[in-house]
Structure 1
Amino acid sequence: MKKLFVMAAMVLSSVGAFAQQAAGTTTLQPKVGLNVATIGDNDWKAGFAAGAELQYQAADNFGIAVGALYSVQGFKGKDVDIDTPIGSGTIKNDFKWNPGYINVPITLNYYPVAGLALKAGLQPGFLVNKDDMDDAKTVDLSIPVGLSYEYQGIVFDARYNIGVTKLADNYDHYNNVIQITVGYKFAL
């Protein structure tokens, strides 16, 4: 059994060697995926994410990436309590808020082993579709943390975007988004 684990580790480490760019190179990665988002104590809802990231491989185990992704976020809930300048109350039945953002993730990517990246950074987002929430702020800021794995140019990425700015001045809640994407990375 021990020999099997050693052989599997050797195979995976050699496969991973194909999955990392050399220091000084730049790559582009178009990607699509799924968001699972919520705000406050509301229910999580599914959304869509699509865009691309550009990465500069600064060293063998360190890269810097910047991207642009269209991201549908928001929340869903039942009997949602609201408090706005034009009134307060409870929205009965099912309710969904589906705002669209252009997010610009800026991440530092650390590669502890070839192909596996640990990511953290800062992500400004720009609201492009308010979806009937007129007092929503047009700029959102979050901290993306996550990891990705690359195999023969295909990149699987999972992130948690932790919201740090309020959605509106009178609404003390933040965007929280789990984002899972798949993309293809190629050298420029």
Structure 2
Amino acid sequence: MKRIAVLIVLVTSTLVSMAQNKPGTWSVIPHVGVSISSLLGGSGLYEVRDNMTVEVKPHALLGFVGGADVMYQASDAVSLSAGLSFVQAGCKLEDYTDEYNIVYDRYLRINYVSMPILVHNKLLPGLSVKVGIEPTCLFNANNHEVYQLYSVDNDGMKTYLQENTGDFDMKNGMRKFGLSIPVGVSYEYENVVLGALYHVGVFNIYKYGDSSRNSVFEVSVGYKLNL
């Protein structure tokens, strides 16, 4: 029984040592994934319906993330990373109908170039938690919607007259630079790294108006290249 226990300990310690990078080593981790984003504190967008100003409520919007991180193994348990990423943020906006139009497929898409700087703390072999800061630079911003114009006859039947797509550049109304606080977890197996990261914006994304901040959750997969 003792021999079996010793064998298990030896095998486990070998696997742990294989899974860990040695302190003082460097690696590069390219990664791609998806983002689920919305806005905290309101959308900052308003529209007039029935002679009233109505705030447009934000909903979750699916997007893309991708980039690469450079990681330094500071100790057996702690590593540091800095990276460059392309992150799609923004929010989806609810459809609405008035007596002349149906407006749908509405979203605010905000694209950022970000530089996440993270501290990684290993809890178990392959499993780490991470937290840090993330300066961001606005790449572009676009408000999209599709609207259908229709008429209604005396019997209440709708006749659709035309459909148009509207894309409005929102970049001039946005802050060019921002800051987020990212927190998350990652799991590494045979150099494949699965990560989940939540970013919460520190500053208002708009130059003027509501105090709306980014809220972005991302899931990514990467491959660790040891240098």
TM-score w.r.t. length of structure 1: 0.83
Aligned counterpart, 1:76:
92
Q: Please give the secondary structure, in 1, of the residue aligned with 2:203.
A: coil
CA distance in 2, matches of 1:11, 1:135: 59
The match for 1:48 among 64, 68, 83 is: 64
CA distance in 2, matches of 1:66, 1:12: 31
1:62 aligns with 2:78: yes
Aligned counterpart, 2:18:
18
- 1:63-106 Cα deviation digits (max 9, x unpaired): 110010011111001159xxxxxxxxxx9534211111111000
CA distance in 1, matches of 2:210, 2:89: 16
Q: Please give the secondary structure, in 1, of the residue aligned with 2:59.
A: coil
Aligned counterpart, 2:225:
186
Aligned counterpart, 2:214:
175
CA distance in 1, matches of 2:11, 2:218: 29
Q: Please give the secondary structure, in 1, of the residue aligned with 2:58.
A: coil
1:173/1:16 CA distance change after superposition, 3 Å? farther
1:109 aligns with 2:125: no
Percent same amino acid at aligned positions? 34
Aligned length: 171
- Higher-Rg member (1/2): 2
Extract unaligned runs of 5+ from structure 2.
Answer: 1-9, 41-56, 97-101, 143-168
1:94/1:11 CA distance change after superposition, 3 Å? farther
CA distance in 2, matches of 1:146, 1:118: 6
Contact 1:18/1:152 (<8 A) preserved: no
Give 1:130 deviation, angstroms: 2.0
CA distance in 2, matches of 1:159, 1:129: 22
Extract unaligned runs of 5+ from structure 1.
Answer: 1-9, 81-90
Give 1:116 deviation, angstroms: 1.0
Q: Please give the secondary structure, in 1, of the residue aligned with 2:18.
A: helix
Q: Please give the secondary structure, in 1, of the residue aligned with 2:74.
A: strand
Q: Which amino acid aligns with 1:20?
A: Q
CA distance in 2, matches of 1:78, 1:138: 26
CA distance in 2, matches of 1:74, 1:187: 34
Give the alignment's Cα RMSD to 1 decimal.
2.3
Give 1:186 deviation, angstroms: 1.3
| Superposition misfits of 4+ residues, deviation over 2 angstroms | 10-20, 91-94
1:45/1:13 CA distance change after superposition, 3 Å? farther
Q: Which amino acid aligns with 1:142?
A: S
